[in-house]
A = this chain, B = another copy of it.
Amino acid sequence: MKYPPKHHQDNDINHMIDVIKTYPLATIISVKDNQPLITHLPLIYKNEKLIGHIDIYNPQAKLLKNNKDVTIIFTGPECYISPSIYSTKQLPTWNYIKVHLKGNVKGIDNKAALKQSLITMTEFLEAPNHKYVLEPDNPRLDANLNYIEMFEITITNWEGKFKLSQDKKPSDTKAAHEELERANQESIKLFLDKVF
């Protein structure tokens, strides 16, 4: 197979789980009548499944149940790689880390389970410092339960896209690693001050 290049595929499931746990905001894609519906939601990985919660008014909510197919993308860091960072001659490229999953999804229609799941997700996301705890008696939590649907995705296919200049010589791969760090830290402040 000529595509995708093998040196950009990482089949180490632990690397993929690291991406999911570090970058939990998933892009969730359902397809109906050949039209994609797309929502961005944090998903929590547990026992080879992914758990999420969706606004009942989101049109995609109807597709996140009844064992329907779903495609999920988790997005790690990415940046343009200028050939100027290398010691060897190369063409420009883009490096990124993405995990693509396929799965089927079932709705979990149980308010107590939903409530516990929101508390558990918050615990996970607040780790390790736990500056906030979502208490079971929080009145805002109870008020929201009727407007959220919980779902669970069984993963049927894993694909780790780690495009990180692994095919270059070690010092150039290291330069690409450093560039990925630098580029991501620089871009954000400038951009945010402009639009937000």
Among the listed B38, B40, B82, B161, which residue makes an inter-chain contact with A131, where contact means beta carbons less than 8 Å apart? B82
The total of chain A residues at the interface (CB under 8 A) is 73
* 29 CB < 8 A contacts A-B: A3-B58, A18-B194, A18-B195, A19-B195, A22-B190, A24-B80, A25-B78, A25-B94, A27-B27, A29-B29, A29-B36, A31-B34, A32-B34, A36-B36, A40-B96, A40-B98, A80-B125, A84-B131, A84-B132, A91-B140, A92-B125, A97-B195, A162-B196, A164-B196, A180-B188, A180-B196, A181-B192, A184-B185, A184-B188
Contact A94 B41 (CB under 8 A): yes
Q: With the chains together, A132 CA to B81 CA distance in Å?
A: 10
Q: Tell me, yes or no, whether A66 is within 8 Å of chain B by CB.
A: no
Query: Cβ of A15 < 8 Å from any Cβ of B?
Result: yes
Asked whether, in the complex, the Cβ of A31 is within 8 Å of the Cβ of B35, the reply is: yes
Closest chain B residue to A164, Cβ basis: B196
Q: Is the interface of A mostly helix, strand, loop or mixed?
A: mixed
A73 touches B38 (CB 8 A): yes
Chain B residues near A77 (CB-CB < 8 A)? 188, 191-192
Please provide the chain A residues from 113 to 144 with a CB less than 8 Å away from any CB of chain B in the complex.
Answer: 121-122, 125-126, 131-132, 134, 138, 140-141, 144
Stoichiometry, as copies per complex, reads: 2
Q: How far is the CB of A155 from chain B (nearest CB, A)?
A: 16
- Chain A residues close to B by CB (< 8 Å): 2-4, 15, 18-19, 22-25, 27, 29, 31-36, 38, 40-42, 55, 57-59, 71, 73, 75-78, 80, 82-84, 89-92, 94, 96-98, 100, 121-122, 125-126, 131-132, 134, 138, 140-141, 144, 161-162, 164, 177, 180-181, 184-185, 187-192, 194-196
Closest to A76 in B: B191
- Please determine whether B192 and A73 come into contact, CB atoms closer than 8 angstroms: no
